[in-house]
Amino acid sequence: MTLLVLPAPGAEAAAAGLAGHLQAPLGAVESRRFPDGESYLRLASEVRDADVVVVASLRDPDPQALGLWYLADTARELGARSVGLVAPYLPYMRQDRRFHPGEAITSRTFAEFISQRFDWLVTVDPHLHRIASLAEIYRVPVRAIASAPAIARWVGTQVNRPVIVGPDSESEQWARDVADRIGCPAIVLEKKRLGDRSVEISVPAAEAYADRTPVLIDDIISSARTMAVAVRQVRSAFGSAPVCVGVHAVFAPDALQVLQQAGAARIVTCNTLPHETNAIDVLEDVAAGVRALQEGARGA
Ligand code: R5P
């Protein structure tokens, strides 16, 4: 097996980190835009007979998606034996059904788009809600790496007497997993979404945990409205400012400020998307997922 890690534009740091954990060479990709907006792409490393691992950082997926196709097709055309995709943040997982007549179910279309060009996919905590497993929508082998072990290691060493708080029922899966690994309690709040940037959250009885540090954990911080409303509610219920942990630092332009102004004690995220709040490294676990997939493919 000759692994070669190639960074899609914007994923250079993650690709270098992953190559280090995989002890695999890091290839070079040149890309730029022509004046008319079209893409130029050149693989500056030899890919013949390599099992290529493309690493992509998909915070803003639409401008990147076509480039991923160019990268995968070029690697294949130049003789790569296989081409897999590591997208630590998997976008388009929330529009997983038609909420209103005529809406596109973009989760499915995006999955089809990736499945057509890549041999496998490794990601971290995809937002699975109405879709129970990525295998329902992706036609290629997929590994979903859990961030809970890395988050639990961070919270367990950085926070004194934590109580894990999930801002809504969807976050329960991460909140309870992290709490169980640390051996601390967890509670889950109740959320009602009123619009893209508006949510209402209520807190169940918190008195039992008054002597603990609340740690809010959610998979995605996007507009940060969910986290910001939860911060305010937790502050008034617990009487102390929570630590906020996000798996995927999507962060819309004003989101960090919104969260800081809500009164978070500290804001940290995993390095699935590059952001100034990155403090929790999940790439070692991602590398283990890549190795397991490759070994499965060799054994098949
Ligand atoms: C929702 O289902 C997710 O788990 C997150 O709570 C949500 O995506 C966060 O979005 P925002 O930061 O825009 O409130």
Residue 197 alpha carbon, nearest atom of ligand 1? 13
Reported pTM? 0.92
Using pLDDT thresholds of 50, 70 and 90, give the confidence band for residue 202. Answer: low
What spacing in Å lies between the alpha carbon of 300 and ligand 1's midpoint? Answer: 38
Structure token digits, residue 264: 């978070």
What percentage of the chain has pLDDT greater than the value 70?
95
Using pLDDT thresholds of 50, 70 and 90, give the confidence band for residue 92. Answer: very high
Q: Please, what are the domains in the chain?
A: 3-146+282-299 (3.40.50.2020), 148-280 (3.40.50.2020)
**Contact of 49 with 84, CB cutoff 8 Å:** no
Helix axes 283-299, 12-22, angle to 10 degrees: 60
What spacing in Å lies between the alpha carbon of 222 and ligand 1's midpoint? Answer: 6
pLDDT digits (tens, 9 = 90+) for 234-251: 998 888 999 999 999 999
d(CA 163, CA 185): 5
Cα–Cα distances (Å) from 154 to 45, 49, 193, 219, in that order, read 36, 39, 30, 16
Lowest mean per-residue pLDDT among 54-63, 87-96, 182-191, 201-210:
201-210
Using pLDDT thresholds of 50, 70 and 90, give the confidence band for residue 296. Answer: confident
For ligand 1, atom 5, the nearest C-alpha belongs to 220
Residues with CB under 6 A from ligand 1: 168, 170-171, 218-227
Using pLDDT thresholds of 50, 70 and 90, give the confidence band for residue 30. Answer: very high
What spacing in Å lies between the alpha carbon of 134 and ligand 1's midpoint? Answer: 19
What spacing in Å lies between the alpha carbon of 1 and ligand 1's midpoint? Answer: 39
For residue 300, is pLDDT > 60? no
Three-class secondary structure of residue 163 per DSSP: strand
